[in-house]
């Protein structure tokens, strides 16, 4: 008998596993297109925000490096 342990007090036995599998195969529903597009749009937005933050950090690092270089070389920029 195989069982999947979710936590120390809960186990899924064979009968429950068979029932869950049967329910999943009989209640097969099409994935809504709008929900998929919303999910994809959120992922693209999250990536764009992260990339924007990355660009800000790169700009700040470049400005800091230029300022340190100007201090050591004595030039103004």
Per-residue pLDDT reduced to its tens digit, 31-48: 678 888 898 999 999 999
Q: Is 11 helix (H, G, I), strand (E, B) or coil?
A: strand
End-to-end CA gap in the chain: 75
Q: Which residues of 43-54 are buried (b: 16+ CB within 10 A; e: fewer)?
A: eeeeeeeeeeee
Residue 54 confidence (pLDDT) above 80: yes
Angle, CA of 4, 8 and 13, to the nearest 5° = 30
- Pairing, β 10-12 against β 4-7: antiparallel
Question: From CA 70, how far away is CA 6, in angstroms rounded?
Answer: 60
What's the whole-model pTM score? 0.51
Residue 59 confidence (pLDDT) above 50: yes
Mean pLDDT of the chain, nearest integer = 80
Question: From CA 24, how far away is CA 74, in angstroms rounded?
Answer: 71
């Amino acid at each position: 008998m195989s069982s999947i342990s979710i936590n120390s007090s809960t186990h899924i036995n064979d009968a429950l596993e068979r029932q869950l599998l049967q329910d999943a195969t009989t209640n097969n529903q099409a994935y809504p297109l709008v929900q998929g597009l919303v999910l994809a749009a959120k992922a693209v937005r999250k990536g764009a925000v992260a990339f924007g933050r990355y660009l800000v950090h790169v700009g700040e690092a470049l400005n800091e490096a230029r300022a340190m270089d100007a201090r050591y070389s004595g030039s103004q920029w």
